[in-house]
């Protein structure tokens, strides 16, 4: 079968591949500690589950508004106004099954061959995949450990050309846990305004932050009409499997994105959207409880990794990932990730799964119990020592 050349340009997300490799080992009886998948290990709060069940039993089981039911859009608009300090019309809000489709639809709606899109590297692999899919040129900005994995704004400026149409930012950041500073965000906004560029700001980890206050580019005056703010319920409310996300976007983008929704999934399940309304309007105490626990695990994993010879690890300010430097171990990160899975029963991701500038790093998700983290650290320590003995 001859496939379209376009489809061969579409990348993927390795976390799911590693998960299936790890599951194949588990099927053979191997005990695997999972540090590869980026999802909270907490249950979705009961009030949210109850709201979905109630909506389902009351008949919210039919097609609904493709843009998202108006009550949820209104609650999202209020939440954004409360947290970003900018008034948002619910007509700018688009609801999708998970936050990922926002990347897919908005990049598809904006870019074409001849355009350029700047994005961080390493970063969530779907950005690069989607830019490539449209035929536009992906222009990576390397994120460096020396800068706490933040954007180098001067470097960003040097990469802007008359063809630059989109800048993608993600803070708190997957895979490094880095958080952009207020000044970084203001400088990026100034460049976007000066050069008439749209910003896709992926803020899916906005509540999972350990130091300082989150700051959104939408809060910078004049950015509302050039920002696509991507967010959702997966991480904040431990709702990855529900598939519920949203964006706040400029009005000109709403219609094309809704047309893409109509052409693909028609709408997001109505009873899931009612769960989203409950998530935003119900008790919020599950969030600080989860974040406090993540913080303890972060400290435990950072300290443990820094005790392993050949490994050094920054203390990230957000998300639930660490991105340890493994260069001194002396093998490539993909090889090390395979070795740790097959020989030590620890599933991790290679830094290069997030782009070429991730070489020399691993990504470990600490969205798992402290007991599992201790077990993984112990196994990694022994496996790395065995490797050093062989070398
Ligand atoms: C940076 C980033 N953006 C977006 C997503 C996708 O979120 P969702 O599961 O709601 O589609 C993820 C998921 O891992 C992520 O890490």
The Cα–Cα gap between 246 and 72 comes to: 10
How far is Cα of residue 105 from the mean position of the Cα atoms in its chain?
16
Closest CA to ligand 1's atom 7: 99
| Closest approach atom of ligand 1 to CA 232 | 10
Determine the 3-state secondary structure of 119 from DSSP: strand
Residue 357 alpha carbon to ligand 1 centre in Å: 20
Residue 100 alpha carbon to ligand 1 centre in Å: 6
**18-62: pLDDT as tens digits:** 999 999 999 999 999 999 988 899 999 999 999 999 999 999 999
**336-389: pLDDT as tens digits:** 999 999 999 999 999 999 999 999 999 999 999 999 999 999 999 999 999 877
The Cα–Cα gap between 28 and 338 comes to: 17
Residue 255 alpha carbon to ligand 1 centre in Å: 23
Predicted pLDDT of residue 16: 86
**201-240: pLDDT as tens digits:** 999 999 999 988 889 999 999 999 999 999 999 999 999 9
Determine the 3-state secondary structure of 198 from DSSP: strand
User: Would you place residue 170 in the very low, low, confident or very high pLDDT band (cuts 50, 70, 90)?
Assistant: very high
CA distances from 19 to 34, 43, 158, 349 (A): 8, 20, 38, 10
Pocket (CB within 6 angstroms of ligand 1): 38, 98-100, 124, 170, 174, 202, 204, 232, 234, 240, 245
The Cα–Cα gap between 361 and 341 comes to: 15
Report which of 96, 114, 93 is spatially closest to residue 105, judged by C-alpha positions: 96
Predicted pLDDT of residue 11: 92
Measured N-to-C along each axis, helices 251-264 and 100-110 cross at an angle, to the nearest 10 degrees, of 110
Residue 251 alpha carbon to ligand 1 centre in Å: 23
Measured N-to-C along each axis, helices 333-344 and 370-390 cross at an angle, to the nearest 10 degrees, of 110
Residue 204 alpha carbon to ligand 1 centre in Å: 6
Closest CA to ligand 1's atom 14: 38
Residue 72 alpha carbon to ligand 1 centre in Å: 20
Determine the 3-state secondary structure of 38 from DSSP: coil
**351-366: pLDDT as tens digits:** 999 999 999 999 999 9
| Closest approach atom of ligand 1 to CA 103 | 4
Contact call for residues 368 and 320 (beta carbons, < 8 A): no
| Closest approach atom of ligand 1 to CA 38 | 14
Strand partners of residue 170: 202
The β-bridge relationship of strands 245-248 and 227-232 is antiparallel
Residue 328 alpha carbon to ligand 1 centre in Å: 31
Strands of the 227-232 sheet, one edge to the other? 93-96, 245-248, 227-232, 198-202, 164-170, 116-121, 137-142
> Which of 104, 105, 176, 204 has most ligand 1 atoms within 8 Å of its beta carbon, as the pocket-test mutant?
204
């Amino acid at each position: 079968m001859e496939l379209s050349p376009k489809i061969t340009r579409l990348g993927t997300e390795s976390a799911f591949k590693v998960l299936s490799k790890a599951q194949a080992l588990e099927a053979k009886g191997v005990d695997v500690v999972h540090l590869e998948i980026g999802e909270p290990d907490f249950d979705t709060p009961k009030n949210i589950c109850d709201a979905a069940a109630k909506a389902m039993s009351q008949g919210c089981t039919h097609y609904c508004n493709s843009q998202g039911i108006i009550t949820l859009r209104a609650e999202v608009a209020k939440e954004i106004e409360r947290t970003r300090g900018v008034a948002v019309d619910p007509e700018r809000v688009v609801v999708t099954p998970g936050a990922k489709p926002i990347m897919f639809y908005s990049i598809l709606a904006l870019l074409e061959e001849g355009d350029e899109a700047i994005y961080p590297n390493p970063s969530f692999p779907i950005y690069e995949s989607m830019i490539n899919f449209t035929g536009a040129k992906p222009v990576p900005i390397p994120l460096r450990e020396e800068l706490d994995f933040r954007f180098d704004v001067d470097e960003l400026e040097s990469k802007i050309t008359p063809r630059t149409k989109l800048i993608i930012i993600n803070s708190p950041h997957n895979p490094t846990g880095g958080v952009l500073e207020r000044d970084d965000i203001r400088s990026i906004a100034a460049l976007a305004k000066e050069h008439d560029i749209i910003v896709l700001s992926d803020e899916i980890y906005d509540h999972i932050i350990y130091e300082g206050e989150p700051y959104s580019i939408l809060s910078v005056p004049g950015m509302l009409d050039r920002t696509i703010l991507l967010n959702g319920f997966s991480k904040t409310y431990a709702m990855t499997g529900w598939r519920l996300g949203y964006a706040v976007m400029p009005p000109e983008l709403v219609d094309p994105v809704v047309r893409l929704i109509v052409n693909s999934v028609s709408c997001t399940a109505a009873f899931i959207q009612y769960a989203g309304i409950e998530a935003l309007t119900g008790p919020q105490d599950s969030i600080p409880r989860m974040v406090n626990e993540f913080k303890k695990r972060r400290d435990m994993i950072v300290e443990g990794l820094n005790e392993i010879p050949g490994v050094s690890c920054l203390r990230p300010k957000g998300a639930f990932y660490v991105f340890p430097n493994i260069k001194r171990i002396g093998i490539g990160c993909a090889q090390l990730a395979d070795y740790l899975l097959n020989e030590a029963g620890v599933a991790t991701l290679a830094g290069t799964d997030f782009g070429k500038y991730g070489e020399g790093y691993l990504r470990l998700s600490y969205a798992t119990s402290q007991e599992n983290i201790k077990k993984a650290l112990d196994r990694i320590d022994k496996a790395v020592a065995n490797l050093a003995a062989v070398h």
